[in-house]
Amino acid sequence: MDKIKSFTILTLLLIILCGSISIYVLYRIKSIHKISAQTEQLVIQTNDIHTKVLENEIAILSFATTYDSSFLDSIHVRKSAILKKIDTLRSITQSMDQNQVLIDSLQASISERHQVFESALSQNPGPEQFLNYVQKHRKENFLKFGQKIKAQNNSILLKQQESLQQREQGLINNLNVLSIIIFAVALIAVAAVFLSFNAFSGYKRQQEKANAQLAEYKELLEEQVNQLNLSNKELEQFAYVASHDLQEPLRKITSFNDLLQEQYKDQLEGEGKLYLERIAFAANRMRKLITDLLEYSRAGRHKEKEEILDLKTVAEEVMDDLYILILEKNAKINIESLPNILGTYSDWRTIFQNLLSNAIKFAKSGIDPVINIQTEIASEKLIHEHVIEPDPEVKYYHIQISDNGIGFNPEYAERIFIIFQRLYGKDVYEGTGIGLAVCKKILDKLGGSIFAVSQEGEGATFHLLVPDYKK
């Protein structure tokens, strides 16, 4: 893949270079076309100048022969026309310094020829004298100026042709470089295609291998899921046995104990009576443990239909069930806000039953329990810190249940959610240590989380993070 990337980058760079050279070649072609047009104009103008110079020589000869002033006027007219042609040459070749120098020389030669004519006319007054002068010096002046002017015209055209040839050669060189680059791009493209084909073939083989491994993992996972389902069914059967078969001997023990206490209470004294009381207490505690263990095994696994629940209504129903306890402890429960949640009634009733009863049970001695319940939208930071694999498509509610009870040491913040873990002895606070474990199991099944924050003697706050799937 690295080679393909390198070839791709190199190809792109060469394509960019090729495009730049192509643009430059187009510019050079346009420039050569412009110079070609200039050259055509130069040819036309220099031919016109040469023609008018010859016509001027004929006019001078005609004037010398006839001494007709009309020829003299034509000489001045042609001089003006020649100078205009020279100005046109200057405008055509204004970007070429060498041609400007040659044009200056051409203009100087034409001016010199006119000055020679004017001087000869003033020094040889009269038709015969001027005619004799012209006949005597005609060949000399014509050769001196005519050929010089012709040579200067040729020099201008030669410089223009050299410039055109240089630009054409530069264009040819650019086209050669462009051809080489195009050839290199083609070679690299072929190499890239070849490497891409090999890489794709290798990727395809790896993909097929990965798919085969994935199929094996899927088969293994299905097998493990089936085993897990079988294990869960066995666990349900065990829970059924625990809730029925194991409780039956306990009921008999309790019944016989009650009979013994009722029929022989007058005969039992001291330790005998104490032993029966302890048997009754142990039997009741065993029954409570079995019932709570059954509840834990079934937590979050009810086949009850999910529905939109008003959690405030569920919490108020739990408060009604705890009415006697609330009255005895003089507890005050404030529900500021609770959301509507998609879930099962029994799960949320269990959660509120455990959390509210715990908040009342672990109250400070001599202080009335005060419990506050409120809800807000959970922040992204809080979700990622406490929820395993959060769902990015839904929002999470942050339910907080705080109390003013005895609290606990922060180092036990995770331990309290482990089944059968107790921070206080059963003689101090009754319970089996299963309630918070049940709450955690239910919220884990819901895709949420529960954690607690507390300090000893400063109460505790239980935080519930619950996904909003009702949409």
Tell me: do 283 and 311 sit in the same domain.
Answer: no
Which residue did the predictor score with more confidence, 377 or 85? Answer: 377
Confidence of residue 421 (pLDDT cuts 50, 70, 90): low
Asked, for residue 15, whether it belongs to a domain, the answer is yes
For residue range 9-61, what is the model confidence (pLDDT) as tens digits?
766 776 777 677 667 666 667 766 676 676 677 777 777 777 777 777 777 77
Query: Residue 8: is its pLDDT beyond 60?
Result: yes
Average pLDDT over every residue of 274-289: 69
Tell me: do 317 and 461 sit in the same domain.
Answer: yes
Residue 299: the pLDDT is 55
In one letter, which amino acid is 359? A
Residue 429: the pLDDT is 59
Residue 356: the pLDDT is 92
Tell me: do 257 and 383 sit in the same domain.
Answer: no
Residue 268: the pLDDT is 66
Asked, for residue 206, whether it belongs to a domain, the answer is no
Average pLDDT over every residue of 262-288: 69
Confidence of residue 152 (pLDDT cuts 50, 70, 90): low
Query: Residue 420: is its pLDDT beyond 70?
Result: no
* Count of domains observed in the chain: 3
Tell me: do 7 and 56 sit in the same domain.
Answer: yes
Average pLDDT over every residue of 124-146: 69
Cβ contacts of 210 within 8 Å, gap of 6 or more: none
Question: Which single residue is written with the structure tokens 């009863």?
Answer: 357
**Beta carbons of 434 and 295 less than 8 angstroms apart:** yes
Asked, for residue 264, whether it belongs to a domain, the answer is yes
Pairing relation of β-strands 307-310 and 332-335?
Answer: unpaired
Query: For the domain that residue 398 is a member of, what is the CATH number?
Result: 3.30.565.10
Asked, for residue 19, whether it belongs to a domain, the answer is yes
**Beta carbons of 43 and 161 less than 8 angstroms apart:** no
Query: What is the phi-psi region of residue 324: left when phi exceeds 0, alpha when psi lies from -120 to 50, beta otherwise?
Result: alpha
Tell me: do 280 and 314 sit in the same domain.
Answer: no
Tell me: do 336 and 417 sit in the same domain.
Answer: yes
Average pLDDT over every residue of 68-84: 77
Confidence of residue 114 (pLDDT cuts 50, 70, 90): confident
Tell me: do 374 and 429 sit in the same domain.
Answer: yes
At residue 452, what are phi and psi to the nearest 5 degrees? -125, 150
Does the predicted model carry a pTM greater than 0.75? no
**Beta carbons of 369 and 363 less than 8 angstroms apart:** yes
Query: Residue 363: is its pLDDT beyond 80?
Result: yes
Tell me: do 344 and 280 sit in the same domain.
Answer: no
Tell me: do 322 and 430 sit in the same domain.
Answer: yes
Buried b (16+ CB within 10 A) or exposed e, 95-104: ebeebeebbe
Asked, for residue 209, whether it belongs to a domain, the answer is no
Which residue did the predictor score with more confidence, 414 or 295? Answer: 414
Query: Residue 428: is its pLDDT beyond 60?
Result: no
**Beta carbons of 361 and 428 less than 8 angstroms apart:** no
Residue 237: the pLDDT is 66
Q: How far is CA 12 from the centre of its chain?
A: 23
Counted residue by residue, the chain has a size of 471
Structural domain boundaries enclosing 271: 244-298
Confidence of residue 312 (pLDDT cuts 50, 70, 90): very high
For residue range 373-416, what is the model confidence (pLDDT) as tens digits?
999 999 999 999 988 888 888 999 999 999 998 888 888 888 88
For residue range 320-351, what is the model confidence (pLDDT) as tens digits?
988 888 998 899 999 998 999 888 888 898 89
Pairing relation of β-strands 340-343 and 332-335?
Answer: unpaired
Tell me: do 274 and 329 sit in the same domain.
Answer: no
Query: Residue 433: is its pLDDT beyond 90?
Result: no
**Beta carbons of 448 and 348 less than 8 angstroms apart:** no
Tell me: do 351 and 461 sit in the same domain.
Answer: yes
Lowest mean pLDDT, pick from 87-91, 143-147, 318-322: 143-147
Residue 97: the pLDDT is 55
Tell me: do 389 and 274 sit in the same domain.
Answer: no
Mean pLDDT of the chain: 76
Query: Residue 462: is its pLDDT beyond 90?
Result: yes
Q: Provide the percentage of residues in the chain whose pLDDT is more than 70.
A: 66
Q: How far is CA 70 from the centre of its chain?
A: 89
Asked, for residue 238, whether it belongs to a domain, the answer is no
Asked, for residue 318, whether it belongs to a domain, the answer is yes
Average pLDDT over every residue of 129-142: 69
Q: Provide the percentage of residues in the chain whose pLDDT is more than 90.
A: 13
Which residue did the predictor score with more confidence, 97 or 252? Answer: 252
Asked, for residue 283, whether it belongs to a domain, the answer is yes
